[in-house]
Structures are given as C-alpha cells and as structure tokens.
Chains A and B, each alone.
Chain A
Amino acid sequence: MKFKSYHAESFFDEMFESDGIPRDYANLLVQKIESFPDGELLRRQEAAERALFHMGITFNVYGDHEGREKVLPFDIIPRIVEASEWEWIERGLKQRVYALNLFVDDIYHDQKIIKDRVMPEGVVRSAKSFRKPCVGLNPPHGIWCHITGTDLVRDTDGQIYVLEDNLRCPSGVSYVLENRQVMKRIFPQAFDSCSVLPVEDYPSRLLDTIQYLAPADAAPTVAVMTPGIYNSAYFEHSFLAQQMGVELVEGRDLVVADGYVMMRTTEGFKRLDIIYRRIDDDFLDPLVFHSDSLLGVPGLMEVYKAGRVALANAPGTGIADDKVIYAYVPEIIKYYLNEDILIPNVPTYVCWDEKKLKYVLECLDRLVVKAANESGGYGMLIGPHATTDEREEFARRIQDNPRNYIAQPTLSLSRVPVIAGDCLEGRHVDLRPYVLYGEEIYVLPGGLTRVALKKGSLVVNSSQGGGSKDTWVLSA
C-alpha cells in the first residue's frame, strides 16, 4: 500500500504538506510504511483489530440494543504532533484549565465575575449544569476539576481551536493507553522512525492526582465509581481502576453509615476516602440530585460536605463545559489571569443573544448547531450536511429554547490518512488531550485522536461511527 495515490485535497493534512510531500516530522514514518511489501500494512491493521477484539476493548452504544458492545475501530497509521506545536498546546491547556477552575470556584462562592459584569448573570442562572447544592462547597486545595478532556480541532488554515471543554467525566483515555499498547505490539518498527513521548504513566499520575485530595500523611482508600457494565465507558472505568490498583465500585457496593461512605466487603464494611466518580452529578446522591436514581449513594453529598469523603471531579464542574459558558472562556481567562487566551475558541454564536439568534437562523445551512448541555455528538446539527427538514426542525427547537443552543461556523477539520479497504484515504480528525490538576497541572503528551471513518463525515464520536488512532507527540 503506497501513498502515491493519496490526496490531501483542499484540507489541512496532518501528515502531508501536499500530495506526495510528507511533512518533515512524518517523513521517516512515511518512508517506513512505503518500504513495506504489498499487503503488509493491511495485515498489521487486521492483526491490530484482532488484538483489540480479543482484549475485549469495547464500548456500549446506547439505543442500539441494550448494552451492545462494540470494538472502537482503530487505524494503525498514527497521528503525529510535532514538539513545538505540542509545547504550545500544553501551555494553552494549562492556562485554560487553571482559569476554568477559578471560574467554577467563583461561581459557587462570590460570583465576582458576574458582579464585575464580565459574564451576564442570566447565563449562569439558566445553565442546566449549575448545581445549587454545590454553592459554598470548598473542595480540597480549591481544585474542582481534577480530570479534564479538552477537544481540539484544526481548520484548513492550520489554526488549532478548542472546540469543547469536558470537565465532568471525560472519557477515552483508556483508548489512548490501549492503542499505544497495541501499536507497540503490532507495529514496533514504526517507532524507529520517531522519538515518541510515552503515555504509560498516566494511571500513576491519575492516582497521584486523586490521592492529593487526602491529607498528605493519610493512606486513603481510593475507588473508581462506575454506573455499571452497561455504561458506554464501562471498559474505561474498569481499566483505570485496574491500572491504578484501586477498587471499582458501583452505587450498590456503597452505603453511608456512621458519617462515612462505606464499601460492603466480604469482611464487613470498610471506609472509602476518595472516589474518582465516573457517574454524573445527577446520579450521585438521590437525596440531593435526581431522587429516582438507583446508581448513586443516598447521603453521599452530606458526607462530602462534611469533608469525610473526596470526589474527583467535584460535583458542579459541569457549569464550565456548558456550551454557552464556553463562548465566554476568553473573557474568563482575561478576568482571572489577566492573560490573553492562547488556544482560541471556535467563533461561537450564542442564540441567547437576539442579534446572534437572528444570524444563526438565517445561516443555518452554513453553521454547526449544538445543544448547550449535550455531549457525545447528540443534539447536534451540521448545517451543510443536513436536509431542509432537519434544518427546519432545528430552527424550531432553537426558537423554542434559544438559551440551549449555540452555533459555530462549520470547520473543515484537518485530515490524516487511514487505511480504507486497499488504499489510503484522508479522514477528518480531532484531538482530545487529557489534563490532570493535582499538585500541579499535567497534560498527557498525546491524547485521543478521534477519526470520522465515514468518508466525508465530520462526526468523530464513537457513538456515531468514529474510530481512533494512536497519537504521537514527538520529543523536543
């Protein structure tokens, strides 16, 4: 399989400057792939798929067939990020996460940013993800969001933007680790061509980050909390618990007793100190949030408020990934840090603003519309690819509830070659790096490159036919 017939077309290609001319940093890898005998690349691609299948690395698709497991499609041609660009991304993400944490803390305390008229009060008050029970909470070290996954995209002109912040329970990092594992197993020669920064120590970094929530001299009991095996990210929950060597618990394993959160064990009840919860705020504690939830632990929030259990991420962080609030992140960074935003936002039209609403409704065929409080590619309209009926339907929804929608210009996401049948073709990608905030802020070198495997598609979500690639951050 050769790159001879590969066309970058009019898109920004992460691997090629133009047809037949690889980018400097990808040159050796391209040569390596070219040097393979016919069929070799495809054979390895199949071996990788088989390995993932046998490893049982799966996710569940909702609304498909209850708890239906699928292997996340994986393409063995890596996506490369060069050192200097990564250095800039890393700084930009640290800045963003630091500022967003200050913002969350402010919102649940004095709301200075509103008093100083930088952000309209209505935006916060109307945010679905604002959690009243979190007002006045003081998480350890003032850190709310310990684990963040920020979605980055690159437009045709090469500019990288932040597309979305995920400050609740971002998922996907297990694929980053497993993809690398499979690559090393199946395609070791590829690593000769580049010096790639390792991702393997993520679980121990994560454990450090979480343990930082407990007093330094304590030997805390830590657990990952999952909604259970039918959750779409269940594999990841169990993977992270396993890699950190901590318990994986479900709500039914836990009970609040004696002022603490206890696990039911074969030797009776055992105290739990720190929970890395992979369950939404709404389901954490039926006494405080959704009262009909069976997934959570009644009384958990009471124990949390008393400081007798720590939660990562803290409840309430969802306020900062509301898509309307997202539009204010440049102002948030300016306000709290007095700095200009490093990695820009995608220009965003907040439908809540009447003038912008009018523009959005007029230009629906050119815009991407997103519901403010959804993720996973649900509740989204890609104007240029939608039918007239779909656009009209969305126009109605936007007018009914303008606060719940934002619109952005349709970006031509950058592309990376994938193996498509017996040739190589470009597909659109994004990148989700993972940021840990403990004693200091750490950005995992790499992240999840999601790729829209359907030809021409811009939707990279795994629930919507997306796949993934190993992401190689080159060392400086």
Chain B
Amino acid sequence: MLSRVADSIYWVSRHVERADNVARFIDANFNMILDLPIGSFDQWEPLVNTTGDRELFFERYDAATKDNVIQFLTFDAEYQNSIKSCMGLARENARSIREFISSEMWEQINKFYLMMNSRDSMDRAVEEPHALFTDIMIAGYLFAGITDATMSHGDGWHFCRLGRMLERADKTSRILDVKYFIVLPSVSHVGSLFDNIQWSALLRSTSAFEMYRKRHGRISPDRIVDFMVLDREFPRSIHHCIIEAEESLRAISGTPTGMFQNPAEQRLGQLRAELDYTNAHEIIAGGLHEFPNSLQIKLNLISDAIFEIFFALQPFKK
C-alpha cells in the first residue's frame, strides 16, 4: 500500500484511540471525586499531569479547576491532544484516505467529529458529563468495531491496529501514572478506604474493574499493576497491547517471531520480551512513576522507527 496511506490510517486509528482514552480519564476522575469526602478532594490537576502537557495547560489557564481541565482536554481547539483536536486530525487523515477505508469507517469518523464540534456536546459536558463521555467512548468502540467488521484484514488493517495498540499501551501507562500524582488526604490514608477507591477508579477508567474482579478478586495494588500491565488477555493491559502490536507489525513485514529485520521490529520485540519476563513486584520496586515514563519513551522510539521504515519518503534505489 502507499506509504502516505499507511501513515494516515495509522494516525486515524491513534487519534481515535487517544480521544477515547482522554474521555476515559475525565470520566474516571468524575467518578472518583464523587466517591471521596467533600472538600479537599476536587483534584483535577493530576489529570493534566498525566497528559504530559502540564506546561501547556498552565500557559493557557490560570488554575486546574474542573471547568478549565474539561475545557482543555475536551474542547480546546488549540491543544492538539484535546478530544476535539484528536477528532479533527483523525478526520483530516481519514479524509485523505477515504477511498482506502470503508464508507462505514468514514461515516463513523465524520459523525464522531461532528459530535465533538456541536454546541450540544459543549452543553452536555456541563449538564450530563457522564453521558457525554460515555458517548465519546462508544463512538471510539464503534470505530474500532466497524474497522474490524468492514475492512479487509490486510496491511491497512494491521497499520490501523498497530496504531491503536501502541496508543492504548501509552494511555494505559498514563492511567497508572495518575495514581502517582493523586494526593491522599494524609499518610494515614495509604491503604485505607480512600486508597482503595482510587485504585478502583483506575480500574474503571480502563473498563477493567469487572474483569479484574473475575481474575484477582480483592483490590490490591500489586495485583492491579499485574492486571493493567502484564495481563495477556485483558484488551487494555499494556502487555496485551504490545503482543497485538507486534503481531500486526510482523504481519505487515512478514518477519517470523524470534528475529527482526528492522529497528521497529527490534525495539518492539525487546519491549515485548521485557513484559514477557517481568512481574508486578519488579515494576513496583523500580518505581510506579518510573515504569510508565520509561515505557512511554520506548513507545515513542518504536513509533519513530515505524515512521522511518514505512512512511518516510525514501529515495529510489534499484
């Protein structure tokens, strides 16, 4: 397939996944705040921190109030990772490859985009935020489902899945990082009911709560880390995402497992092996903030390598 088209479909899928995840962050935070004692717990700043765009936020807003944070993350057209901007970029990319994706995929992107640009959505963010953010997540699910059901599972689909999985791994790691940023009322609260509420909220924000219960039962930090990072079967766990991303990358290049032919395969394979052979205790010992950080750097390097190999314009060689 054309390099430009591969590039675009990869980014369509990444941007939709990103939009979906930002909605998750916000929705989970709403839920958590409602469960915590009234007063000092109106914490919206941690959400800004997890995006990695704290500086950008404070350049444009004076305080991390609920309204400001929701505006920034959802509707701010000048912030390129807001849900609205993500959908603008997703649509722009999708528009340039309309002939390549199915009409159903295009229509879903277009509807999602129109939803983010409607006056109605801005009102709903205030009046019924949970319903709005749920609709956004559903729009994301729909796109992924429509993609799987209407597009041939060839290279284009694999680029699509590769983008979605790398983005999702990144976002799950950021959700884990939220826990690091959230301040408990006092040291005595560590391990308390509130601590548990926060951990549960993390699980809920990745729609992982029910699946986690089935798998591990009791809420405990090391098991949650195990589930969100290392579970092979849960679709939002980092390990699962990396396994699927690697499958797609190898399907595109035809390289068998256990070897590599280019830096993207090498780096992704290394990351996968690392996740294959570590455990929650190692991760916690290494630092719950440090792990997501180093993972995000690795994911960026993988994405750069994918760009170089498949998308960048190469001079002609015989």
Q: Which residues of B contact A263 (CB under 8 A)?
A: 2
Partner of B92, one of A229, A238, A241: A229
CB <8 Å contact, A242 and B3? no
Partner of A54, one of B4, B97, B107: B107
CB <8 Å contact, A264 and B313? yes
Given contacts A56-B95, A239-B99, contact A249 B2 (CB under 8 A): yes
Q: Looking at the assembled complex, report how far the CB atom of B87 sits from the nearest CB atom of chain A, in whole angstroms.
A: 13
Q: Which residues of B contact A55 (CB under 8 A)?
A: 103, 106-107, 110
Given contacts A238-B99, A255-B316, contact A264 B3 (CB under 8 A): yes
Q: Looking at the assembled complex, report how far the CB atom of A159 sits from the nearest CB atom of chain B, in whole angstroms.
A: 40
What is the predominant secondary structure among interface residues of chain B facing chain A? helix
B252 contacts chain A at the CB level, 8 A cutoff: yes
CB <8 Å contact, A264 and B95? no
A440 contacts chain B at the CB level, 8 A cutoff: no
B122 contacts chain A at the CB level, 8 A cutoff: no
CB <8 Å contact, B316 and A248? no
Given contacts A54-B107, A56-B107, contact A264 B99 (CB under 8 A): no
Partner of A266, one of B95, B97, B252: B252
Please, how many angstroms separate the alpha-carbon atoms of A55 and B92 in the complex? 14
CB <8 Å contact, B316 and A262? yes
- Closest residue of chain A to B310 (Cβ to Cβ) is A266
CB <8 Å contact, B316 and A242? no
Partner of B4, one of A242, A250, A257: A250
CB <8 Å contact, A258 and B2? no
Q: Which residues of A contact B216 (CB under 8 A)?
A: none
Partner of B3, one of A54, A56, A234, A253: A253
Given contacts A258-B316, A264-B314, contact A241 B99 (CB under 8 A): yes
Q: Looking at the assembled complex, report how far the CB atom of B131 sits from the nearest CB atom of chain A, in whole angstroms.
A: 21
CB <8 Å contact, A248 and B114? no
Q: Looking at the assembled complex, report how far the CB atom of B160 sits from the nearest CB atom of chain A, in whole angstroms.
A: 13
B100 contacts chain A at the CB level, 8 A cutoff: yes
Q: Which residues of B contact A255 (CB under 8 A)?
A: 316
- Closest residue of chain B to A224 (Cβ to Cβ) is B99
- Closest residue of chain B to A53 (Cβ to Cβ) is B114
CB <8 Å contact, B2 and A54? no
B96 contacts chain A at the CB level, 8 A cutoff: yes
Partner of B110, one of A56, A228, A240: A56
A338 contacts chain B at the CB level, 8 A cutoff: no
A252 contacts chain B at the CB level, 8 A cutoff: yes
Q: Which residues of A contact B3 (CB under 8 A)?
A: 253, 264-266
- Residues of chain B in range 5-28 having any CB-CB distance to chain A below 8 Å: 5-6
- Residues of chain B in range 250-301 having any CB-CB distance to chain A below 8 Å: 252
Please, how many angstroms separate the alpha-carbon atoms of A373 and B95 in the complex? 31
Q: Which residues of B contact A56 (CB under 8 A)?
A: 95, 98, 106-107, 110
CB <8 Å contact, B110 and A253? no
Given contacts A248-B100, A255-B316, A258-B318, contact A265 B1 (CB under 8 A): yes
CB <8 Å contact, A257 and B316? yes
A interface footprint on B202-245 (CB within 8 Å = 1, 0 otherwise): 00000000000000000000000000000000000000000000
Q: Which residues of A contact B310 (CB under 8 A)?
A: 266
Please, how many angstroms separate the alpha-carbon atoms of A56 and B97 in the complex? 13
B42 contacts chain A at the CB level, 8 A cutoff: no
Residue count of chain A within 8 Å CB distance of chain B: 31
Q: Which residues of B contact A359 (CB under 8 A)?
A: none
- Residues of chain B in range 136-166 having any CB-CB distance to chain A below 8 Å: 155, 159
Q: Which residues of B contact A241 (CB under 8 A)?
A: 99
A269 contacts chain B at the CB level, 8 A cutoff: yes
CB <8 Å contact, A269 and B316? yes
Q: Looking at the assembled complex, report how far the CB atom of B252 sits from the nearest CB atom of chain A, in whole angstroms.
A: 7
B111 contacts chain A at the CB level, 8 A cutoff: yes
Question: Most A CB atoms within 10 A — which of B3, B114, B318?
Answer: B3
- Residues of chain A in range 242-278 having any CB-CB distance to chain B below 8 Å: 242, 247-250, 252-253, 255, 257-258, 262-266, 268-269
CB <8 Å contact, A229 and B155? no
Given contacts A250-B4, A252-B4, contact A239 B98 (CB under 8 A): yes
Please, how many angstroms separate the alpha-carbon atoms of A239 and B106 in the complex? 12
Q: Which residues of A contact B97 (CB under 8 A)?
A: 238, 248
- Closest residue of chain A to B3 (Cβ to Cβ) is A264
Please, how many angstroms separate the alpha-carbon atoms of A241 and B5 in the complex? 13
Q: Which residues of A contact B95 (CB under 8 A)?
A: 56, 229, 234, 238
CB <8 Å contact, A54 and B111? yes
Please, how many angstroms separate the alpha-carbon atoms of A55 and B95 in the complex? 11
CB <8 Å contact, B2 and A265? yes
B interface footprint on A205-239 (CB within 8 Å = 1, 0 otherwise): 00000000000000000001000110000110111
CB <8 Å contact, B107 and A253? no
Partner of B114, one of A54, A238, A266: A54
Q: Which residues of B contact A248 (CB under 8 A)?
A: 97, 99-100
Q: Which residues of B contact A234 (CB under 8 A)?
A: 95
- Closest residue of chain A to B94 (Cβ to Cβ) is A56
- Closest residue of chain B to A248 (Cβ to Cβ) is B99
- Closest residue of chain A to B309 (Cβ to Cβ) is A266
Please, how many angstroms separate the alpha-carbon atoms of A240 and B3 in the complex? 20
Q: Looking at the assembled complex, report how far the CB atom of A119 sits from the nearest CB atom of chain B, in whole angstroms.
A: 41
Please, how many angstroms separate the alpha-carbon atoms of A235 and B100 in the complex? 13
CB <8 Å contact, B110 and A238? no
Would you give 27 A-B contacts (Cβ < 8 Å), ordered by A?
A: A53-B114, A54-B110, A55-B106, A55-B110, A56-B95, A56-B106, A56-B107, A224-B99, A228-B96, A234-B95, A238-B95, A239-B98, A239-B99, A241-B99, A242-B100, A247-B2, A248-B97, A252-B313, A253-B3, A262-B316, A264-B2, A264-B3, A264-B314, A265-B1, A266-B6, A266-B252, A266-B311
Q: A54-B114, A238-B98 are in contact. List 4 more A-B contacts (CB 8 A).
A: A235-B98, A238-B96, A242-B100, A264-B4
10 residue pairs, one from A and one from B, having the closest CB atoms: A242-B99, A241-B99, A257-B316, A238-B98, A56-B110, A238-B99, A248-B99, A266-B310, A264-B3, A266-B6
